[in-house]
Structure 1
């Protein structure tokens, strides 16, 4: 298993995408969601959604990408 980046999204959108992928049986995680939480700028930092490289095409189709 090798994680690849599906995309970078606003914090709330990233968590919605992870839930949508989970509903379709695709495991996904978010990275950078708590970056800079101490200084209050975490809403400005994109959150990466990561999926297994074998799931990238299917995940991309579900979120409207082209991979």
Structure 2
């Protein structure tokens, strides 16, 4: 299992929504640096949504559909 970056977010809410959508479609994911995002303090540390490389194509399709629906939500 090799993890790849699916997306980066600077908002933990959006990252969580995408993670939930992936999980609801049966794609396990991991959020890296969730607790490190300190945007309110002037530091922009991204939250990384990571998936297994074998799930990349399906995960990207889910992410694209989420953006077409009006954002990460």
Q: What's the C-alpha RMSD, in Å, of the aligned pairs? A: 2.2
Q: Deviations over 1:37-62 (max 9, x none)?
A: 6xx63984321000000001100110
1:22 aligned onto 2:23: yes
Q: What SS does the aligned partner of 1:21 have?
A: helix
Q: TM-score, normalised by structure 1?
A: 0.80
1:56 aligned onto 2:56: yes
Q: TM-score, normalised by structure 2?
A: 0.74
CA distance in structure 2 between the aligned counterparts of 1:13 and 1:41, rounded to whole angstroms: 19
CA distance in structure 1 between the aligned counterparts of 2:60 and 2:44, rounded to whole angstroms: 23
Contact 1:26 / 1:55 at 8 angstroms: preserved in 2? yes
